[in-house]
């Protein structure tokens, strides 16, 4: 008796990545659920970050580069009372002595300076190459990593909530912007600390959280009906 052929899946699935797993572990999970069909993602989310992770399946992996180039939108919760080496909640906190707690007006004014085209140095724990090596690899070896600032574009940024020492910010940005670097640089501008307690990606281009599936809701094996079709993807990329 001939074995039934596996379905040939083509499309995109948007996952609401939980806190903890790497983006590649999400790729591997979806690949298994798609009968080992070729799968890739359209932009890494740090393990501690959550939210929109766009995965291309089958021939849609050829569109991943185009998806990566789209604008992104994030919300982030920043603690201004301390710093960490990686500017996120994974590292050891180092308390910062703050001479004067910034007012809401001062925080709003400081955040506004990050709008438009800015210069931003990526975090040392990033995939940027320095002297031929990934910055994060050198940083984990304890090396002194220096990354030169580069242009980044912020389309819109605003404070959603502020109660010392916690500020919640929403930012819409182009490819190449680092939310963790925003926390670091905001702290410097205010004379405080600054690291991300939470980072949540809410949009990748026109792929939104409303489209995203929860991991626990995914069936053992995905079908074509579980994916955005190539035609739907093309419309979202217009």
Sign (positive/negative) of CA torsion 69, 205, 200, 24? negative
The reply to whether 147 and 170 lie within a common domain is: yes
The reply to whether 172 and 214 lie within a common domain is: no
222 and 33 in contact (C-beta within 8 Å)? yes
Number of domains in the chain: 2
Which pair of tokens denotes residue 206? 């026109």
The reply to whether 41 and 153 lie within a common domain is: no
Residues 6+ apart with CB under 8 A from 177: 72, 120, 152, 153, 154, 171
The reply to whether 64 and 77 lie within a common domain is: no
Write out residues in the chain with pLDDT < 50, as ranges: 1-3
Which pair of tokens denotes residue 181? 């670097």
In this prediction, residue 132 carries a pLDDT of 63
The enclosing domain of 184 has a CATH number of 3.30.2350.10
57 and 221 in contact (C-beta within 8 Å)? no
The reply to whether 153 and 167 lie within a common domain is: yes
In this prediction, residue 66 carries a pLDDT of 96
Q: Which residues is 203 bridged to in the sheet?
A: 73, 208
pTM of the model: 0.91
- The answer to whether residue 4 is domain-embedded is no
60 and 222 in contact (C-beta within 8 Å)? no
The reply to whether 195 and 79 lie within a common domain is: yes
108 flagged as catalytic: no
Residues 6+ apart with CB under 8 A from 86: 123, 124, 125, 139, 180, 195
Write down the catalytic residue from 46, 79, 88, 185.
Answer: 46
205 and 14 in contact (C-beta within 8 Å)? no
In this prediction, residue 1 carries a pLDDT of 40
Sign (positive/negative) of CA torsion 65, 69, 74, 77? positive
Domain span at residue 56? Answer: 11-69+205-236
What confidence tens digit (pLDDT) does each residue in 31-62 have?
Answer: 999 999 999 999 989 889 999 999 999 999 99
The reply to whether 164 and 215 lie within a common domain is: no
């Amino acid at each position: 008796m001939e074995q039934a052929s596996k379905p040939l899946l083509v499309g995109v699935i948007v996952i609401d990545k939980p806190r903890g797993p790497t983006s590649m572990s999400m790729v591997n999970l979806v690949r298994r659920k798609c009968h080992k069909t070729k799968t890739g993602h359209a932009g890494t989310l740090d393990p501690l970050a959550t939210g929109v992770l766009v995965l291309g399946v089958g021939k849609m992996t050829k569109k991943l580069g185009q998806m990566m180039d789209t604008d992104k939108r994030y919300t982030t919760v920043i603690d201004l009372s301390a710093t960490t080496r990686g500017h996120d909640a994974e590292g050891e906190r180092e308390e910062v002595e703050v001479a004067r707690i910034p007012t809401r007006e001062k925080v709003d004014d400081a955040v506004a300076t990050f709008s438009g085209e800015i210069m931003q140095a990526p975090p040392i724990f990033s995939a940027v190459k320095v002297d031929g090596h990934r910055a994060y690899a050198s940083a984990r070896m304890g090396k002194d990593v220096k990354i030169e600032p580069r242009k980044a574009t912020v389309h819109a940024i605003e404070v959603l909530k502020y109660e010392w020492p916690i500020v919640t910010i929403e930012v819409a940005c182009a490819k190449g912007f680092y939310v963790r670097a925003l926390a670091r640089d905001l702290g410097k501008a205010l004379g405080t600390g600054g690291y991300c307690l939470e980072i949540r990606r809410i949009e990748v281009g026109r792929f939104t959280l409303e489209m995203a599936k929860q991991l626990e809701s995914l069936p053992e094996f995905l079908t074509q009906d579980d994916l955005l079709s190539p035609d739907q993807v093309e419309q979202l990329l217009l």
